[in-house]
Structure 1
């Protein structure tokens, strides 16, 4: 009875002590993943090049690559001898594209950014001529910026909207803005497309936008675009605060913070 108890374990789980065979399987898996990472950085490599980059024996690399080839995860050109990532790897990776949701991926990051600057941070997506707030972490300050989740802002008169416009191609930008006169919300709103285009050029250069009371008097915002794998904007991160807490001398620092956070979110979302 004692022997039965000590040898019983949950089905599908390895024994606590592991074993040489189990450890070898894990090591082989780790090495195979390393080879895929090496191949992903190139359009094609010879066996010796892969082995050198992975710092593994050529015989080991050949054995692993052959196994991966049978599963369609890598390909091999007999004419050149080059190894490369295979179509099967794309099929596996594309599964992530089906299930990824930007608000969920951004949740921890926007909380971290808000706590770091003690201001309200928003994640917004573009919908026609409007910017829709889809996630938010509010500042704990007594006077703070607030935008209702699901609420919309005009794309030409908001920090997030302008950051997205600046990241678009000229053709896409023209399609989003249309040909009508831009609506005025405050005395600072860009109502001519020429003035807006000048602002967008500056945004492209510094990597973040500035909403200087262009929609709501007394409120400022800095924002940066989040990109997909084709380097097209899918949303924007923004930091909003009353003018008294976002004076000109603080705008640059907050702009850099939101730009860096948007770059991190871009990497998490699309791998760029």
Structure 2
């Protein structure tokens, strides 16, 4: 990269490079990828950290996308194309399972609901369009977190102050969150019961883009007593199938 390339172009190239990586990377790789001297890369990364677009993981000596970058990505996903592709998938899911279904995306540490489809006699829920809830406590949020690299999860939740408590249930430390995410990753879906609202449970699965990155999640919410624990895996598998359908639609 020549010395007269605008700083804005260099910044965008750094963001583009980090977005294509499976997790945080050393500064040397970033400098090499965007053709910058080490000293210039350091100062550029320092400025991007200050604005929240890059996060530094000092223990690993690596850099990854920050919360501000996730917010921009989430804003893009909230535009019409994703919602248009998802709406018929959610409608069919509601017809199949008889419970409320919703589409959500990560917005920093929160899960934002973009779409909601309901059965004829819906249960009153807090998952209305536009509502933001702690990603660590929602099945929809954890389905997305489970599909992220572990270093990126740590960047989003670096300390106990990053965690929110609502009903006294759910992970409250990074160690607890990692354990939950590992279990949900193995079973292929996320599940929560009474972590957001007492007596209300949900299951969810991630929607992946062509590179295997999580871009959204599809979740189904219901009264805890309406679906016995033994029946929830089947409901979760149907939800995961809907998420895979939307993934294919996004990939064209």
* TM-score range for the pair, normalised by the shorter chain length: 0.5 to 0.7
2:246 matches 1:265: yes
Contact 2:191 2:204 in 1 (8 A): yes
Q: Which residue of 2 aligns with 1:123?
A: 103
Q: Is the 8 A contact 2:100 2:122 kept in 1?
A: no
RMSD: 1.8
CA separation in 1, counterparts of 2:90 and 2:192?
Answer: 19
Deviation string, structure 1 residues 54-104 (Cα, Å, up to 9, x no partner): xxxxxxxxxxxxxxxxxxxxxxxxxxxxxxxxxxxxxxxxxxx9x972111
Is 1:194 the counterpart of 2:182? The answer is no
1:134, distance to aligned residue in structure 2 (A): 0.3
Q: Answer yes or no: is 1:226 the counterpart of 2:230.
A: no
Deviation, 1:209, is: 0.2
Find the counterpart in structure 2 of residue 160 from structure 1. Answer: 140
User: What secondary structure does 1:110 align onto?
Assistant: helix
Between 1 and 2, higher relative CO (CA 8 Å, sep ≥ 6) is seen in 2
TM-score normalised by the chain length of structure 1: 0.60
Aligned position for 1:90: none
The count of corresponding residues between Structure 1 and Structure 2 is 174
User: 3-state SS of the aligned residue for 1:265?
Assistant: helix
> What's the counterpart of residue 129 of structure 2?
149
The equivalent position to 1:208 in structure 2, one of 189, 195, 199, is 189
Rg comparison, structure with higher value:
1
Matches within 5 A, 1:1-272: 101-141=81-121, 143-181=123-161, 182-271=163-252
Confirm or deny: 8 A CA contact 2:103 2:115 kept in the other structure: yes
Asked if 2 retains the 8 angstrom alpha-carbon contact of 1:144 and 1:242, the reply is no
Contact persistence 1:209–1:224 (CA under 8 A): yes
CA distance in 2, matches of 1:145, 1:203: 23
Change (3 A) 1:100 1:171: farther
Give me the whole-angstrom Cα distance separating, in 2, the residues matched to 1:236 and 1:176: 18
> Does the Cα contact within 8 Å between 1:164 and 1:233 map onto a contact in 2?
yes
Whether contact under 8 Å (2:148, 2:214) holds in the other structure is yes
Write out per-residue CA displacement over residues 222-251 of structure 1, whole angstroms, 9 at most, x where no aligned residue. Answer: 000001111111110000001111220221
The whole-number CA distance in structure 2 between the counterparts of 1:145 and 1:256 is: 22
Deviations 1:34-66 (A, max 9, x none): xxxxxxxxxxxxxxxxxxxxxxxxxxxxxxxxx
CA contact (8 A) 1:145 1:242 kept: no
User: Contact conserved, 2:102 with 2:113, CA < 8 A, in 1?
Assistant: yes
Distance between the aligned counterparts of 1:142 and 1:162, measured in 2? 24
1:144–1:241 CA contact under 8 A, matched in 2: no
- SS of residue in 2 equivalent to 1:226: strand
Q: Runs in 1 of length 4+ with deviation above 6 angstroms?
A: none
